[in-house]
Amino acid sequence: MPKGWEAIRAEVIQRISTRIWPAGGLIPSEQALALEFGCARATVNRALSELAGAGLLERKRKAGTRVAMLPVRKASFAIAVIRAEVTARGQAYAVRLLARSLAAPPLAVALRLGLPQGARMLHLQSLHLADGSPQVYEDRWLNPAVLPLPEPDFAKISVNEWLVANVAYASGDIAFSAAAASAAEALALAVAPGAALFITERCTWGGGADAAITWVRLAHAPGYRLQTLL
């Protein structure tokens, strides 16, 4: 007899994987399961809700709970600050600010951030180093409205770390892809032009008033892997 909601979750997973409850089939109601397991309905609910969140079950009011047809596995990653990643490997971390200017961003960036086309943003390019060797080339557009006066010294602190520490919790999106190294990226990262780079693109807005905050593209040096348990 399972005891505790985690045991119930395990039992349910067991029944799904052994096809006692076949894919696409209806499973007993919370009532019935609570009775069978000798626990309260809330306990069953907690277990089933979690599995529904994980994509293993599909639940609808009145319709009941059924085993998901194609279980969409969800992988989750911790998006860490680069400094933390580097120092966690026992390496020395440094940032170098390569360029800083005030300019109108490319159309795609302005659109994604919901800014008018002519708006000028702070354009920063920097290089993250581990033990002196280049790791990540960062190309960032930053809404100057979020900056205080005087502007923080981004030669000393990475923009990302300043943002994390000083700008309100915000929403955004993130995308991963692969791209060939551009001339500038190849030079900064000390790789051949055209080398395959892992690209992280992040777009952040919101904060207080749904304002645009920043758009950033990180080009990771070859060898970078984004890894997680399923």
Partner DNA sequence: ATGGCTATTATGTCTGCACATAATGCGAAG
Partner DNA sequence: CTTCGCATTATGTGCAGACATAATAGCCAT
User: Interface with DNA by CB under 7 A: which residues?
Assistant: 3-7, 29-31, 38-43, 45-46, 48-49, 52, 59-65
Which residue type is seen at 22?
P
What are the residues whose beta carbons fall under 8 Å from the beta carbon of 179, sequence distance 6 or more? 196, 197, 199, 219
Stretch that binds a copy of itself, among 99-107, 145-153, 177-185, 210-218 (CB under 8 A): 177-185
Write the interaction track for a copy of itself spanning residues 123-162; mark x where CB under 8 A is met and - where it is not.
--------------------------------------x-
The angle subtended at Cα 158 by Cα 152 and Cα 164, nearest 5°, is 85
Cα end-to-end span (Å), the chain = 28
Name which of 71 and 152 has its Cβ closer to a copy of itself: 71
Smallest CA-to-CA distance from 33 within 44, 20, 42 is with 44
Among 63, 75, 102, 107, binds a copy of itself (CB under 8 A): 75
Which option in a copy of itself, DNA, none does residue 147 bind, with CB closer than 5 to 8 A by kind?
none
With CB cut-offs between 5 and 8 Å by kind, which of a copy of itself, DNA, none does residue 97 bind? none
Kindly state whether residue 62 participates in binding a copy of itself, applying the rule CB under 8 A. no
For the beta sheet containing 64-67, the strands, ordered from the edge strand earlier in sequence to the opposite edge, are 26-27, 64-67, 57-60
Give the three-class secondary structure for 205: strand
Say if CB 226 and CB 198 are below 8 A apart: yes
117 binds, among a copy of itself, DNA, none (CB under 5 to 8 A by kind): none
Q: Are 73 and 230 in contact (CB under 8 A)?
A: yes
Contact 154, 100 (CB under 8 A): yes
Of 61 and 73, nearer to DNA (C-beta) is 61
Q: Smallest gap, in angstroms, from Cβ of residue 62 to a copy of itself?
A: 21
Quick check: 92 binds a copy of itself (CB under 8 A)? no
What is the DSSP code (8-state) at residue 145? G
Q: Report the residue from 114, 176, 193, 210 that binds a copy of itself according to the rule CB under 8 A.
A: 176
Binding site for a copy of itself (CB under 8 A): 13, 16-19, 23, 55-56, 70-81, 84, 161, 164-165, 168-180, 194-199, 202, 204, 207-208, 220, 222, 224-230
